[in-house]
Structure 1
Amino acid sequence: MPDQQGVEQGDVEMRAKGFGAARVSVPVIGQGTWRIDTFDRSRAIQALRAGIDAGMTHIDTAEMYGDAEVMVAEAIADCREEIFLVSKVVPSNATRRGVVRACEASLRRLGTDRLDCYLLHWRGSHPLAETIAGFEDLRQAGKILSWGVSNFDVPDLEEALAIAGPDRIACNQVYYSPSVRAIEHAVLPWCTAHGVALVGYSPFGSGDFPEPASSGGRVLQGIAEAHGVSPHSVVLAFLLRLPNVFTIPKTARADRAVENAAAADIQLNSAEIALIESEFPRGPKPRILPML
């Protein structure tokens, strides 16, 4: 399945980490798909395929992402067995029966018989025990291999752990970029302590990537030039400096997908990390966990 860059599948080995308590090996850089259906369909699918060819076989989507699941289905049609596929249920569907119905609908859109991981998109009004019971029903039926959560702060994680018991929560997917490091205060340490993977979404921010002329932009550019990469690649490498972290950038460009994948091989030194941390300080712990 060659992409526009001529990368043949298998030519690139993406660095991987253990995902969740089961320690399944998953590429550290995956592919997000939020709003990917707003781009040219053909180019966006080409970008997903280019990312897969470059080793980014961890693909994240959700039932609320419009046509994204259908586009993912087309991109992975001839390589499903190589993909670590994640989707998410919206809180309004997160009753015990609703979770099962929502998952089955996602499976149909994705053209597959199972998800590698299924997440609650954010905390809603339905009892968490019902949602987790639905997840376990799906897992026992073989329709999902694992489950996790998204946008959960520590109190929510503690409640989920108390309901499900240890070694059940595979991951917590949260907003994590150099400018939004709130999860480093408590969420990331909790996840690390309990064997829960931390998956950072929107690593480049939400339309606010540092301008080249800004102080932060100049810092990223200088480090990028030292490594012969782009500032975006430096950002991904910075987020992956911690052992329990994965990241899922989104792009609708094949060349950018290959560029994102290459960031897994960048090793920032301690001085570079300190410089980025100084330019993009963690700041005080917020009262509410940031999310998009």
Structure 2
Amino acid sequence: MKTVTISGHALPAIGIGTWHMGDDPAKEEQEINAIRAGLDAGAKVVDTAEMYGSGNSETLVGKALQPYDRERVFLISKVLPSNASKAKMEEHLDASLQRLQTDYLDLYLYHWRGGTPLSETISELDRLKETGKIRAWGVSNFDVADLEELWQLPAGPNAAANEDLYNIETRGIEYDLTDWQAQHDLPLIAYSPVGGLHNELGTTMLDNAVVKQIAATHNVSAHAVLLAWTIRNGNTIAIPQSSQVSHVEANVKATELELSSDELNKLDQEYPSPTHKVPLAIN
């Protein structure tokens, strides 16, 4: 099983994303069962945010985690840019903790850059770490220039991870960001690793003939192949979202799938790596 170390924790490289979950009361039991199935299959990372359903996702996750030893789960949430100031952040963190029914987060991410000076946001994140309400902090939707600016701040190199959109069809960050993060020992958390919900990214990768052929060779799903590709470098945790128990279980098993160099080359031919800088993909 592939693992990635974040803030001293060796974590399975496939976690559980919860974007778009928690909004429909009729689906609550199914979604709770899916999160629990992922944990039971060996996942540890559960990723949510105050933005997701205006807190509904955090509430759902809080319910799902109740039967589990809190120390067994690596829980991530995120603060909105509008709340990432010294005046507001702790209040919003406390609200997230209440919805999640816990007294700490393993990782608290600055969801994306907003109007608050970066120095103020990072100073407050670092202060909240000292309170024990968060055990580590990081950033999300940051590109190389953002990270270089972050690293110039006194507490900047304390960042534990950066979460960006990344999948085989959206490889722009490979031009410079993935190398930068590897050189600075900053793990990547990949969201939308198999595209967005309801194909909102217009993806073709699940239907690609080469992806399907490789999946058939290994007797796994196309999702599993795409996830194994996303985590192939050993510095990336992927957080696919699914409300289906069987899908979540299959996703977690993708940590054990090794793609051969020949298979990786075939996938590169289908979805080439970038040859120039492109704007950071955000969804």
TM-score normalised by structure 1 residue count: 0.90
Q: What's the CA shift string for 1:242-279, capped at 9, x where partnerless?
A: 12111000000001000001100000000000111110
1:69 is matched by which residue type in structure 2?
E
Partner residue, 2:21: 36
Instruction: Specify which of 61, 75, 80 is matched with residue 48 of structure 2.
Output: 61
2:204 is matched by which residue type in structure 1?
P
User: 1:167: how far off?
Assistant: 4.3
1:86 is matched by which residue type in structure 2?
I
Q: 3-state SS of the aligned residue for 1:37?
A: coil
Percent identity over the alignment?
A: 39
Output the CA distance in 1 between the equivalents of 2:271 and 2:72: 36
Q: How does 1:1-292 map to 2 (within 5 A)?
A: 15-19=2-6, 22-38=7-23, 40-66=27-53, 67-79=56-68, 80-165=70-155, 167-206=157-196, 207=199, 208-210=202-204, 217-292=208-283
Q: 3-state SS of the aligned residue for 2:11?
A: strand
Output the CA distance in 1 between the equivalents of 2:20 and 2:140: 17
Q: How many residues align?
A: 274
Distance 1:196 1:247, change over 3 A: same
Q: 3-state SS of the aligned residue for 1:86?
A: strand
TM-score normalised by structure 2 residue count: 0.93
2:21 is matched by which residue type in structure 1?
I
User: 1:285: how far off?
Assistant: 3.3
2:230 is matched by which residue type in structure 1?
L
Q: What's the CA shift string for 1:170-221, capped at 9, x where partnerless?
A: 0000000110011111111111111111010001112134276x5xx11011
Which stretch shows the higher mean deviation, 198-207 or 22-31? 22-31
After superposing on structure 2, the runs of 4+ consecutive aligned residues of structure 1 that deviate more than 6 Å are: none
Distance 1:251 1:89, change over 3 A: same
User: 1:166: how far off?
Assistant: 6.3
Q: 3-state SS of the aligned residue for 2:87?
A: helix
Output the CA distance in 1 between the equivalents of 2:44 and 2:205: 30
Output the CA distance in 1 between the equivalents of 2:88 and 2:59: 21
Distance 1:142 1:205, change over 3 A: same
Distance 1:46 1:164, change over 3 A: farther
Consecutive unaligned residues in structure 2, runs of 5 or more: none
Output the CA distance in 2 between the equivalents of 1:223 and 1:51: 24
Q: 3-state SS of the aligned residue for 1:170?
A: coil
Q: 3-state SS of the aligned residue for 1:234?
A: helix
Partner residue, 1:7: none
Q: 1:96 touches 1:132 (CA, 8 Å); kept in 2?
A: no
